[in-house]
Structure 1
């Protein structure tokens, strides 16, 4: 019978510790939610989607200084990366040479 009583006391103490941890976690959760609320209020009152958008140049505003090396192609691009992507997609034979 002593084993049951010892186990009961052990389980009782474990439950007390678990309850303390739960109270601490709930308090921490409340604090985090309050901080999040405050951050949302302090923000520009913009939704996440609105802040995520970036300004892009119009196609007519882009200076196209990078020209495709194939004379028959004649395509021009505003960045070297765009030109390289064009070459990989449209002229894979140029990529395989290198």
Structure 2
């Protein structure tokens, strides 16, 4: 009888140890599962924050691009007067030539190309300036 009781006790102890091991293993896996869920939640939060930051960055880049385009347009474009706005006060003095120009340089170029006059162009400009001041 003692032997059988001892065997039963051993069996119970063995069974209890096996059950405890099983419970410990189950608790370990439950803890790992909870840990993984928490990690997944943190990854989702970080991903969401990253996406929000990316969107803000894209908005700032778009604004920066617009500003640089506007500043480049300002640098590239030069407001020029139209031909109607330019006063044509420099008139060609050659007979039957009624051309007039907005600058003395343009008049001198005209006289050189159209009339072949290259000498004393500066004197012609001075004379035309005198006519302007006398008017």
TM-score by length of 1: 0.46
Larger Rg: 2
The answer to which structure, 1 or 2, has the higher relative contact order (CA under 8 A, 6+ apart) is 1
User: Would you tell me which structure has more helix in proportion to its own residues?
Assistant: 2
> What TM-score, normalized by structure 2, do the two folds share?
0.34
